[in-house]
Structure 1
Amino acid sequence: MFNQQASAWEASIVAAIAEELDQLRYLVNDKSGSTEKGDIHAQIDRLCGLTDLAHNEAIPFSESSRVQIRELNEMAMGMIRATLDFTPPSEERVQSLEREAAQGLFDAIALNIPHLAQGETRKYAIALSTSAFEELRKHMGDHPDFEMMKQLVLVQDYRVMKLAGDNR
């Protein structure tokens, strides 16, 4: 009786994974234009969440169920590799992303300038690695507030920051 119950719940999970794989296949093959990349990525996340169960040794799957789940996972990964565009971003796109990141970091620091200026009083501080600061300088160095900002930000070598550790 116990083995039949165990087999039933295992079969239910395998069936659910198979249904999620069918849904992924449908989304990938949908040519109507109503399926967006986000829909496919969300489906992949759901499917991976279920197939990851086979790797959890705390879940008492039988070996045959683990093999079935892994096979379904391989089918999904094969479908994903065959259909999704995994080309690396262009150099222009990388530069754009770096500029956006630098702008976001600059804006975050700028919003905190009043607190940073009162460092000892307010106990606010921002430390950036030398590399991060150089990226910020590269993209935002000509901004009129950059000179003031660089005086309020602690710039350290990453190795020094790592040695300091988490002081929370």
Structure 2
Amino acid sequence: MSHTQASDWEASIVAAITEELDQLKYLIEDRSGSTEKNDIHAQVSRLCGLTDLAHNDAIPFSASIRLQLHELNEMAMGMVRNTVDFSPPTEDFVQSVEREAAQGLFDAIAFNIPYLAQGETSKYAIALSMNAFDLMRTHMGDHPDFEMMERLVLVQDYRVMKLAGDNR
């Protein structure tokens, strides 16, 4: 393979990365409301997948191209650091996610009661750690069926559950 061909393929990779970088810039600057954080994360993943090629010694990049790939990666990371909001989630958001998880757990137990009860010799539909159960109680404790649900859940200390191991 001649040096010119190597330069061509290297240039095409740099061009592809530059296009992905332009797309990242577009997504970050998009104010239309149609771009979500997941879109930006996916674009960063694509871009890093390409710039990470510079770390692969099996690919015969020239030293200058490896350096260029590192610089493009730094540009991308700089764009993300400067524009994406990395503030911690609000307490309301955390509560909302916890409530949703508790509701999902509650529903899963309720939907599975007929199946779980048939095959169980114990009277419990599921075993939960104290923390998981407390979370469910916090968000679902006022549900009219919670008291009945409570009787179907074996609540254990997580350390005890861990010691018990995999009983399947």
Structure 1: segments with no counterpart, 5+ residues: none
Alignment check: 8 A CA contact 1:10 1:61 kept? no
Where 1:118 maps in the other structure, the secondary structure is helix
User: How far apart are residue 3 of structure 1 and its match?
Assistant: 6.5
Go from structure 1 to structure 2 and tell me whether the alpha carbon gap of 1:141 and 1:35 turns closer, same or farther (over 3 Å shift). Answer: closer
> TM-score scaled by structure 1?
0.77
Number of equivalences: 164
Alignment check: 8 A CA contact 1:130 1:157 kept? yes
Go from structure 1 to structure 2 and tell me whether the alpha carbon gap of 1:164 and 1:11 turns closer, same or farther (over 3 Å shift). Answer: farther
CA root-mean-square deviation? 2.9
Within 5 Å, which residues of 2 pair with 1:25-44? 25-31=25-31, 33=32, 35-37=34-36, 38-44=38-44
CA distance in 2, matches of 1:138, 1:89: 20
> TM-score scaled by structure 2?
0.77
Deviates more, 1:47-56 or 1:94-103: 47-56
Q: Are 2:82 and 1:82 aligned?
A: yes
CA distance in 1, matches of 2:139, 2:34: 36
- The corresponding residue for 1:60 is 59
Structure 2: segments with no counterpart, 5+ residues: none
CA distance in 2, matches of 1:136, 1:165: 23
Identical aligned pairs, as a percentage?
72
Alignment check: 8 A CA contact 1:116 1:152 kept? no
Q: Are 2:14 and 1:19 aligned?
A: no
